[in-house]
Amino acid sequence: MFDTIVRDGLWFDGTGAPPQRRDLGIRNGIVEVVSAESLDAGGDTEVIDAAGKWVLPGFVDVHTHYDAEVLAQPGLPESVRHGVTTVFIGNCSLSTILASNADCADFFSRVEAVPRDAVHDVLEEHRDWRSPAEYVAAVERLPLGPNVAGFLGHSDLRTAVLGLDRAVTRDTKPSAVEIERMRTLLEDAIDAGMLGMSSMSNTLDKIDGEIYRSRSLPSTYARGKEFRALNGVLRRRRRILQSAPTINFRPNVWKYFAASSGLFRRPALRTSLLSAADSKAYPPVVYFMMYAAPLLNRFARTDFRWQHLPVPFTVYADGIDLVVFEEFGAGAAALHLKDEVERNELLRDKEYRRQFRKDYDNKFSPRIWHRNFFDATIVGCPDESVIGKTIGQVGRERGLHPVDAYLDMVIEYGRKLRWRTTIANDRPKYLDKLATNSGVQMGFGDAGAHLRNMAFYNYHLRLLERVKAAQGKRNPFMSLERAVHRLTGELAEWYGLDAGYLRQGDRADLVIIDPAGLDQSVHGLHENAMPEFGLTRMVNRNDAAVAATLINGVTVYRGGEFATGFGAEWGTGQFLRTGQSARKPAERRLPVGR
């Protein structure tokens, strides 16, 4: 007798093979039978009619910042409702494993735009670990929704060994003993089953708090000896380095290429960097993104991938609260000030405005944001006459430089001024080329971060919608089976995880998609209360696309509703250890009767 039968769906196994119409018989969390014939159901078997629908492996999200949220809301429903069954935490040098709660909150909250007090309070309430192994055990005790895999963050590691003061000081040179301590802790994390280490060399990312506020992340202060020692551990243990290069006139991306290389009889270092994008600030860079990794992987024996968000990169801001302002002096100076009165006083200052206009008009400074207020649309404001206009238009109507018009509105309306802009991936031609590129991984959705700035929880569905629409127009850029593979099995295999496939004997993590629901609704944005962090965040809501999500063989989401008690009283997810099978279901966390 099967626990669940998924009946008559178009089945994709995650390998890239063409789909076939099949029944899936699931027992004890495992796909036990894949059958061309109709399977018999027992009296207690849950039967899901998937006729006319697609049955896919659950999506793998390789880049989230759920590190604090998973403790407060382990079900992670914003991902699960869109078919994500495995998430990675600990990205961008940020984890909550080793450093103190206050330090973790300082270097996590400002970079990822989540409330510092919320992060700190969650850690204070839930933390009962002191080592990577104890952290993994603590995550496993949670009623997890999706499966979780994790990196050890370099900023977390460096702060734990050096203390935050020395970790964010330029002239700090770790001793041989301290570097050896970092190596040992990284080895401990790998022994606990973690993916490897995440780092960050982009100095634009700043920390929060009172004492060291606006210093760059601790990992950005590391130097060659420290990196070589830690990369040596990753290379020897066949684990992964996740990071981002510098964005300035002294690019260091070549160092990542060199570190990844497997020339001279050494193993290649698997390296995943942010981010392959068709940048509005530097459109020609897209060619470097498309050709560098495939060529290096072929001729320099690197094992290198760019992470890529396969949708337009549109961001929203409340007033001046947006991370892109960190990239130039005047913007960073405003974000340094937490007190609104003090910040507004700065924004009124004539000399400050002169410097802001100079930074804004400087076309030769390194940038992520294209710095064009004529490409920034107001979507919310107490003055309804400006809604729908660009900030540049408002400035022109008022006879002001766009910067002055913007700062005037920030002073008057504060966070009630809400606006959006697209900073990358606005050209469909190059978006399609990046999505099919062998040097690119589907990822960088940043789920759990930038809660008021963006929502890419369903980027997997948005890619499938584009693939389906292109086929409908007889102008395909990728087959459906390859798109599914890129979102599932390809990722799990590269990261060494037991996930991403839906074959006989695989763990039953799957999503059932109604292709009729893959329409423009998948690109819509909404707001939803997040009481755990005391705010309203941006989310995706396209419930017509996902008919059901099953994790470890249990139906956790179906017909737009979550199973009763899911993510609070019980969960289905596991901590996935790299290189180890995790197919046995975690029955102690399942609802009664399963």
- Give the amino acid at 53: K
pLDDT of the residue at 581: 63
Measured distance CA(296)–CA(255) in Å, rounded:
13
Instruction: Give per-residue pLDDT as tens, 8-42.
Output: 999 999 999 999 999 999 999 999 999 999 999 99
Average pLDDT over residues 342-362: 96
Measured distance CA(332)–CA(336) in Å, rounded:
6
- Checking if the pLDDT of 143 tops 70, the result is yes
Most distant pair of Cα atoms in the chain: their distance = 77
pLDDT of the residue at 260: 95
Instruction: Give per-residue pLDDT as tens, 515-539.
Output: 999 999 999 999 999 998 999 999 9
Domains of the chain, each with CATH number or no CATH = 1-89+458-527+543-594 (2.30.40.10), 93-244 (no CATH), 246-312+425-455 (no CATH), 316-419 (no CATH)
- Give the amino acid at 434: L
**Quick check: 334 and 300 in contact, CB under 8 A?**
no
Mean pLDDT over each residue of the chain, to the nearest integer? 94
Instruction: Give per-residue pLDDT as tens, 548-578.
Output: 999 999 999 999 999 999 999 999 999 999 9
Q: H/E/C letters for each residue in 376-388?
A: CEEEECCCHHHCC
Site of tokens 């830690």: 230
When computed from its CA atoms, the radius of gyration of the chain, rounded to whole angstroms, is 24
The neighbouring-strand residues paired with 536 are: 529
Instruction: Give per-residue pLDDT as tens, 287-302.
Output: 999 999 999 999 999 9
C-alpha torsion angle, residues 92, 94, 95, 100 (rounded to 10)? 170
pLDDT of the residue at 589: 47
**Quick check: 59 and 460 in contact, CB under 8 A?**
yes
- Checking if the pLDDT of 141 tops 70, the result is yes
Q: Pairing state of beta strands 147-150 and 526-530?
A: unpaired
- Checking if the pLDDT of 594 tops 50, the result is no
Give SS3 for 139.
helix
Q: Which residues contact 181 (CB under 8 A, 6 or more apart)?
A: 161
Q: Pairing state of beta strands 54-57 and 4-11?
A: parallel
**Quick check: 424 and 278 in contact, CB under 8 A?**
yes
Residue 535 C-beta-side C-alpha neighbours within 13 Å: 19
- The DSSP letter of residue 524 is -
**Quick check: 99 and 154 in contact, CB under 8 A?**
no
Question: Which tops the pLDDT comparison, 393 or 579?
Answer: 393
- Checking if the pLDDT of 593 tops 90, the result is no
- Checking if the pLDDT of 105 tops 50, the result is yes
User: E strands of 244-287, at which residues?
Assistant: 270-274
Site of tokens 């999506």: 59
Q: Which residues contact 570 (CB under 8 A, 6 or more apart)?
A: 143, 589, 590, 591
The token pair that represents 3 in the structure block:
């626990």
pLDDT of the residue at 591: 53
- Checking if the pLDDT of 1 tops 90, the result is no
pLDDT of the residue at 590: 53
Instruction: Give the whole-number percent of the chain exceeding pLDDT 70.
Output: 98
C-alpha pair distances (Å), 88 with each of 70, 85, 233, 343, 467: 11, 10, 20, 36, 25
- Checking if the pLDDT of 586 tops 90, the result is no
List alpha helices for 58-131, DSSP H: 69-72, 77-80, 101-112, 116-126
Neighbours of 361 (CB within 10 A): 12
Task: Give me the phi and psi of 73, to 5 degrees please.
Answer: -140, 80
Q: How confident is the model at residue 592 (pLDDT cuts 50, 70, 90)?
A: very low
pLDDT of the residue at 250: 83
Average pLDDT over residues 394-421: 97
Average pLDDT over residues 131-145: 97
The neighbouring-strand residues paired with 11 are: 20, 55
- Checking if the pLDDT of 6 tops 50, the result is yes
What is the pTM assigned to this prediction?
Answer: 0.95
Instruction: Give per-residue pLDDT as tens, 424-441.
Output: 999 999 999 999 999 999
Instruction: Give per-residue pLDDT as tens, 200-250.
Output: 999 889 999 989 999 999 999 999 999 999 999 999 999 999 999 998 878
